[in-house]
Protein backbone atom coordinates (compact mmCIF):
# COMPACT_ATOMS: atom_id res chain seq x y z
CA UNK A 1 0.00 0.00 0.00
CA UNK A 2 0.96 3.61 -0.12
CA UNK A 3 3.28 4.80 2.58
CA UNK A 4 3.09 7.49 5.21
CA UNK A 5 6.37 9.31 4.64
CA UNK A 6 8.69 10.86 7.18
CA UNK A 7 12.32 11.87 7.10
CA UNK A 8 14.42 9.43 9.10
CA UNK A 9 16.61 11.74 11.17
CA UNK A 10 16.59 15.22 12.66
CA UNK A 11 19.34 16.72 14.75
CA UNK A 12 18.83 19.94 16.72
CA UNK A 13 20.56 21.89 19.42
CA UNK A 14 19.04 22.05 22.87
CA UNK A 15 16.77 25.09 23.17
CA UNK A 16 16.06 25.32 19.44
CA UNK A 17 12.76 24.40 17.82
CA UNK A 18 12.33 21.04 16.09
CA UNK A 19 10.03 20.51 13.14
CA UNK A 20 9.17 16.97 12.12
CA UNK A 21 7.33 16.56 8.84
CA UNK A 22 5.02 13.86 7.53
CA UNK A 23 3.03 13.29 4.37
CA UNK A 24 0.05 10.98 4.51
CA UNK A 25 -2.00 9.34 1.83
CA UNK A 26 -5.69 9.16 2.59
CA UNK A 27 -7.65 12.38 2.21
CA UNK A 28 -10.52 10.81 4.14
CA UNK A 29 -8.40 10.28 7.26
CA UNK A 30 -10.36 11.66 10.20
CA UNK A 31 -7.64 11.68 12.85
CA UNK A 32 -3.93 12.11 12.49
CA UNK A 33 -1.62 11.34 15.36
CA UNK A 34 1.88 11.94 16.60
CA UNK A 35 3.44 9.26 18.75
CA UNK A 36 6.72 9.27 20.67
CA UNK A 37 8.88 6.20 21.28
CA UNK A 38 11.69 6.35 23.81
CA UNK A 39 14.45 3.73 23.71
CA UNK A 40 13.24 0.26 24.73
CA UNK A 41 9.67 1.40 25.19
CA UNK A 42 6.37 1.26 23.38
CA UNK A 43 4.74 4.14 21.56
CA UNK A 44 3.00 6.86 23.53
CA UNK A 45 0.41 9.20 22.09
CA UNK A 46 1.73 12.76 22.05
CA UNK A 47 -1.09 14.56 20.37
CA UNK A 48 -3.68 14.26 17.66
CA UNK A 49 -5.40 16.56 15.22
CA UNK A 50 -8.83 16.18 13.76
CA UNK A 51 -9.10 16.54 10.00
CA UNK A 52 -11.25 19.69 10.15
CA UNK A 53 -8.53 21.54 12.06
CA UNK A 54 -5.56 23.44 10.62
CA UNK A 55 -3.57 23.78 13.80
CA UNK A 56 -3.49 22.48 17.31
CA UNK A 57 -1.28 23.73 20.13
CA UNK A 58 -0.53 21.85 23.31
CA UNK A 59 2.14 23.46 25.53
CA UNK A 60 5.44 23.11 23.61
CA UNK A 61 3.83 21.13 20.79
CA UNK A 62 2.24 22.65 17.69
CA UNK A 63 0.65 20.48 15.02
CA UNK A 64 -0.02 21.93 11.58
CA UNK A 65 -2.22 20.21 9.03
CA UNK A 66 -2.33 21.05 5.33
CA UNK A 67 -5.10 18.89 3.93
CA UNK A 68 -4.59 20.06 0.35
CA UNK A 69 -1.00 18.80 0.34
CA UNK A 70 -1.69 15.97 2.85
CA UNK A 71 1.11 17.34 4.97
CA UNK A 72 1.36 17.14 8.74
CA UNK A 73 4.04 18.66 10.91
CA UNK A 74 4.98 18.61 14.57
CA UNK A 75 6.88 21.55 16.04
CA UNK A 76 8.53 21.17 19.43
CA UNK A 77 9.48 24.50 20.95
CA UNK A 78 12.52 24.82 23.24
CA UNK A 79 13.65 21.27 22.51
CA UNK A 80 15.19 19.47 25.47
CA UNK A 81 17.47 16.42 25.66
CA UNK A 82 14.50 14.50 27.06
CA UNK A 83 12.76 15.01 23.73
CA UNK A 84 15.30 12.73 22.05
CA UNK A 85 13.21 9.83 20.75
CA UNK A 86 11.61 8.44 17.62
CA UNK A 87 8.49 10.29 16.50
CA UNK A 88 5.84 8.57 14.40
CA UNK A 89 2.99 10.12 12.54
CA UNK A 90 -0.05 7.96 11.87
CA UNK A 91 -3.21 8.24 9.84
CA UNK A 92 -6.38 6.24 10.14
CA UNK A 93 -7.51 4.49 7.01
CA UNK A 94 -10.98 2.99 6.62
CA UNK A 95 -10.85 -0.71 5.84
CA UNK A 96 -14.02 -2.74 5.51
CA UNK A 97 -15.87 -0.80 8.16
CA UNK A 98 -12.88 -0.65 10.50
CA UNK A 99 -10.43 2.19 11.02
CA UNK A 100 -6.86 1.00 10.88
CA UNK A 101 -3.88 3.13 11.93
CA UNK A 102 -0.99 3.27 9.47
CA UNK A 103 2.31 4.56 10.77
CA UNK A 104 5.22 6.26 9.10
CA UNK A 105 8.72 4.84 9.50
CA UNK A 106 9.53 7.25 12.31
CA UNK A 107 11.86 10.23 12.64
CA UNK A 108 14.74 9.90 15.08
CA UNK A 109 15.15 13.22 16.86
CA UNK A 110 18.60 13.76 18.33
CA UNK A 111 18.99 16.71 20.69
CA UNK A 112 22.54 17.75 21.49
CA UNK A 113 23.79 20.31 23.99
CA UNK B 1 -2.97 -3.78 36.92
CA UNK B 2 -4.74 -1.61 34.40
CA UNK B 3 -3.28 -1.25 30.94
CA UNK B 4 -1.98 -3.36 28.12
CA UNK B 5 0.56 -6.04 28.97
CA UNK B 6 2.77 -8.03 26.65
CA UNK B 7 4.67 -11.16 27.57
CA UNK B 8 7.35 -12.26 27.43
CA UNK B 9 9.44 -9.10 27.27
CA UNK B 10 12.31 -10.96 25.58
CA UNK B 11 12.35 -14.30 23.79
CA UNK B 12 15.01 -16.29 21.99
CA UNK B 13 13.83 -19.26 19.96
CA UNK B 14 15.20 -21.59 17.34
CA UNK B 15 14.25 -21.71 13.69
CA UNK B 16 11.25 -23.96 13.12
CA UNK B 17 9.86 -23.76 16.63
CA UNK B 18 6.40 -22.49 17.44
CA UNK B 19 6.24 -19.47 19.71
CA UNK B 20 3.33 -17.50 21.09
CA UNK B 21 3.44 -13.87 22.14
CA UNK B 22 0.79 -12.78 24.60
CA UNK B 23 -1.16 -9.54 24.81
CA UNK B 24 -3.67 -8.65 27.51
CA UNK B 25 -5.65 -5.43 27.96
CA UNK B 26 -7.86 -4.41 30.84
CA UNK B 27 -10.02 -1.71 29.21
CA UNK B 28 -12.32 -4.00 27.20
CA UNK B 29 -11.29 -2.14 24.06
CA UNK B 30 -12.93 -3.65 21.00
CA UNK B 31 -9.92 -3.27 18.70
CA UNK B 32 -6.57 -4.95 19.13
CA UNK B 33 -3.57 -4.91 16.81
CA UNK B 34 -0.23 -6.60 16.33
CA UNK B 35 2.65 -4.68 14.74
CA UNK B 36 6.25 -5.56 14.12
CA UNK B 37 8.95 -2.93 14.22
CA UNK B 38 12.07 -3.33 12.11
CA UNK B 39 14.84 -0.88 11.31
CA UNK B 40 14.05 0.91 8.10
CA UNK B 41 10.45 -0.30 7.98
CA UNK B 42 8.87 1.40 10.95
CA UNK B 43 5.72 -0.30 12.22
CA UNK B 44 3.99 -2.81 10.01
CA UNK B 45 0.59 -4.25 10.80
CA UNK B 46 0.46 -8.05 11.08
CA UNK B 47 -3.11 -8.73 12.18
CA UNK B 48 -5.91 -6.87 13.85
CA UNK B 49 -9.17 -7.73 15.53
CA UNK B 50 -12.35 -5.65 15.71
CA UNK B 51 -13.98 -7.78 18.40
CA UNK B 52 -13.86 -11.24 19.95
CA UNK B 53 -13.80 -13.94 17.26
CA UNK B 54 -13.20 -11.38 14.48
CA UNK B 55 -9.70 -11.10 13.04
CA UNK B 56 -8.29 -9.67 9.82
CA UNK B 57 -4.95 -9.68 8.04
CA UNK B 58 -2.77 -6.65 7.96
CA UNK B 59 0.17 -5.79 5.73
CA UNK B 60 2.50 -8.69 6.68
CA UNK B 61 0.44 -11.67 7.96
CA UNK B 62 2.37 -14.58 6.42
CA UNK B 63 3.80 -16.98 9.00
CA UNK B 64 1.60 -15.66 11.82
CA UNK B 65 -1.65 -16.84 13.37
CA UNK B 66 -3.89 -14.95 15.79
CA UNK B 67 -6.98 -15.73 17.82
CA UNK B 68 -9.35 -13.68 19.94
CA UNK B 69 -11.57 -15.94 22.01
CA UNK B 70 -11.84 -13.28 24.73
CA UNK B 71 -12.01 -9.51 24.31
CA UNK B 72 -9.05 -8.90 26.60
CA UNK B 73 -6.55 -11.31 25.01
CA UNK B 74 -5.01 -11.33 21.55
CA UNK B 75 -2.17 -13.87 21.28
CA UNK B 76 0.13 -13.94 18.25
CA UNK B 77 1.62 -17.31 17.22
CA UNK B 78 4.55 -17.89 14.94
CA UNK B 79 3.82 -21.39 13.69
CA UNK B 80 7.36 -22.17 12.52
CA UNK B 81 9.71 -19.34 13.38
CA UNK B 82 12.17 -18.04 10.77
CA UNK B 83 15.12 -15.68 11.16
CA UNK B 84 13.23 -13.04 9.19
CA UNK B 85 10.74 -12.92 12.05
CA UNK B 86 13.38 -11.57 14.40
CA UNK B 87 11.84 -8.26 15.38
CA UNK B 88 10.22 -6.22 18.11
CA UNK B 89 6.51 -6.95 18.33
CA UNK B 90 4.00 -4.45 19.66
CA UNK B 91 0.41 -5.03 20.64
CA UNK B 92 -2.03 -2.12 20.71
CA UNK B 93 -5.67 -1.58 21.53
CA UNK B 94 -8.30 1.08 20.92
CA UNK B 95 -11.96 1.82 21.15
CA UNK B 96 -13.44 2.94 17.84
CA UNK B 97 -15.76 5.42 19.49
CA UNK B 98 -12.81 7.03 21.28
CA UNK B 99 -10.40 7.65 18.44
CA UNK B 100 -9.27 10.91 19.98
CA UNK B 101 -7.63 8.77 22.65
CA UNK B 102 -5.56 7.12 19.97
CA UNK B 103 -4.12 3.66 20.19
CA UNK B 104 -2.50 2.40 23.37
CA UNK B 105 0.62 0.30 22.97
CA UNK B 106 2.23 -2.35 25.09
CA UNK B 107 5.93 -2.25 25.93
CA UNK B 108 6.83 -4.73 23.23
CA UNK B 109 8.34 -8.20 22.93
CA UNK B 110 11.82 -8.48 21.49
CA UNK B 111 11.98 -11.80 19.63
CA UNK B 112 15.20 -13.29 18.32
CA UNK B 113 15.09 -16.34 16.08
CA UNK B 114 18.42 -18.18 15.86
Q: Does the pLDDT of residue A102 top 70, yes or no?
A: yes
- Tell me the pLDDT tens digit for each residue of B43-54: 999 999 999 999
Asked if B105 reaches chain A (Cβ–Cβ under 8 Å), the answer is yes
Choose among B31, B41, B59: nearest Cβ to A1: B59
Q: Does the pLDDT of residue A26 top 60, yes or no?
A: yes
Q: Does A98 sit within 8 Å of B31, measured CB to CB?
A: yes
Q: Does B42 sit within 8 Å of A44, measured CB to CB?
A: no
User: Nearest CA to CA, how far is A56 from chain B (Å)?
Assistant: 13
Contact A10/A109 with Cβ under 8 angstroms?
Answer: yes
CA dihedral sign, ordered B96, B102, B108, B111: positive
Asked if A41 reaches chain B (Cβ–Cβ under 8 Å), the answer is yes
Q: How far is it, in rounded angstroms, from Cα B114 to Cα B112?
A: 6
Q: Does the pLDDT of residue A29 top 90, yes or no?
A: no
Q: What is the pLDDT of residue B74?
A: 98
CA dihedral sign, ordered B100, A73, A87, A26: positive
- Tell me the pLDDT tens digit for each residue of B92-112: 999 877 777 788 999 999 999
Buried b (16+ CB within 10 A) or exposed e, A43-81: bebbbbbeeeeeeeeeeeebbbbeeeebebbbbbeebee
Average confidence (pLDDT) over A23-37: 87
Q: How far is it, in rounded angstroms, from Cα A93 to Cα A4?
A: 11
Q: How many CB pairs under 8 A join A and B?
A: 61
Average confidence (pLDDT) over A48-76: 93
Choose among B40, B42, B100: nearest Cβ to A103: B42
| C-alpha dist (Å) from residue B108 to A3, A63, B7, B90, B96 | 23, 27, 8, 5, 22
Asked if A9 reaches chain B (Cβ–Cβ under 8 Å), the answer is no
Q: What is the pLDDT of residue A103?
A: 92
Dihedrals phi, psi of B43, to nearest 5 degrees: -100, 130
Average confidence (pLDDT) over B8-17: 97
Hey, of A37, A93, A105, which one would you mutate to test binding to chain B, going by the most B CBs within 10 A of its CB? A105
Chain A residues with CB-CB distance to B108 below 8 A: 41-42
- Banded pLDDT at B41 (limits 50, 70, 90): confident
Amino acid sequence: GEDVEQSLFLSVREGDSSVINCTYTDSSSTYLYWYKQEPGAGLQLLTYIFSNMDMKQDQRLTVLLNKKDKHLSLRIADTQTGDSAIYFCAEIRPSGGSYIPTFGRGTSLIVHP
Amino acid sequence: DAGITQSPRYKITETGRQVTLMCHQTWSHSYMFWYRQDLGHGLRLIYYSAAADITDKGEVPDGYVVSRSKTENFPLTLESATRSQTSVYFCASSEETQLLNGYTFGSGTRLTVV
